Structure 1
Amino acid sequence: MPPQPNMQQMLKQVQKMQADMARAQEALKDETVTATVGGGAVSVEVTGEMVLKAITIAPEAVDPEDVEMLSDLVLSAVNEGIRKAQELAASRMEAAAGPLGQSMGGLGIPGF
């Protein structure tokens, strides 16, 4: 028969994981990712909380005869920035959860 888990120790680990995850979530406010498309024509900056902070458009990307292309570049840059920010957030939260979060995720516990 396998040994019984130490519930008090497990509770301490869960509390530490929750505190680490809260700190990681707070730190994401200050972390940003940058996505650039069109060979530098459009760049965006997105925080780890998925807030769009900046859009930079190179002057040569502005062509009054082809506004649709610029719109497509902005859309692509924003989507890439959001994807990168999601990856950053997932990475930080996974690191904060540590091995306990990974073992709970395997149990199908929501939120882990």
Structure 2
Amino acid sequence: MLKGLGGLGDMAGMMKKAQKMQKDMADLQEKLDEMTVVGESGAGLVKATATAKGKLTALDIDPSIFHPDEKEVVEDLILAAIKDAQAKAAAKSEEEMKALTEGLGLPADFKMPF
């Protein structure tokens, strides 16, 4: 009946794969919430820690940069550290997603709908 469809004829197998993918995605989302990355600026004077989903969790500022006349410099360093952490979070998330999709036999450039 469905012989001409090759592997698509096995609906039970497809359903199992879909369920596994759904579980793997839920596990990955939880894992990304627990993974952290650290973004830096000013040669490490300002460090921003974020989850792999990009949620900022900590900010560490070396006290040596606190000079009243350099307020704008400090603000720029803080923003740069946060942006670096967010960029690293996005890269880590993409790396983990790529590993998951490759493990499922999907193309490396496959984009999940979320």
Q: TM-score scaled by structure 1?
A: 0.83
Is residue 17 of structure 1 aligned with residue 58 of structure 2? no
1:66-77 equivalences in 2 (<5 Å): 66-77=70-81
Is residue 95 of structure 1 aligned with residue 99 of structure 2? yes
CA distance in 2, matches of 1:23, 1:77: 28
Percent identity (aligned): 32
**Could you say which residue in structure 2 is the equivalent of 1:4?**
6
Cα-Cα RMSD: 2.4
CA contact (8 A) 2:98 2:108 kept: no
Which structure 1 residue ranges, 5 or more long, are not aligned?
Answer: none
Could you tell which deviates more after superposition, 6-15 or 92-101?
92-101
CA contact (8 A) 1:94 1:101 kept: no
Instruction: Measure how far apart 1:103 and its partner are.
Output: 7.5
CA distance in 1, matches of 2:32, 2:73: 32
CA distance in 1, matches of 2:55, 2:40: 16
Is residue 36 of structure 1 aligned with residue 43 of structure 2? no
CA distance in 2, matches of 1:8, 1:104: 26
1:66 is paired with a residue whose SS is: helix
**Could you say which residue in structure 2 is the equivalent of 1:78?**
82
CA distance in 2, matches of 1:104, 1:70: 39
The 1:90–1:76 alpha-carbon spacing in structure 2 relative to 1, beyond 3 Å, is same
Q: Which amino acid aligns with 2:57?
A: K
The 1:28–1:50 alpha-carbon spacing in structure 2 relative to 1, beyond 3 Å, is same
Which structure 2 residue ranges, 5 or more long, are not aligned?
Answer: none
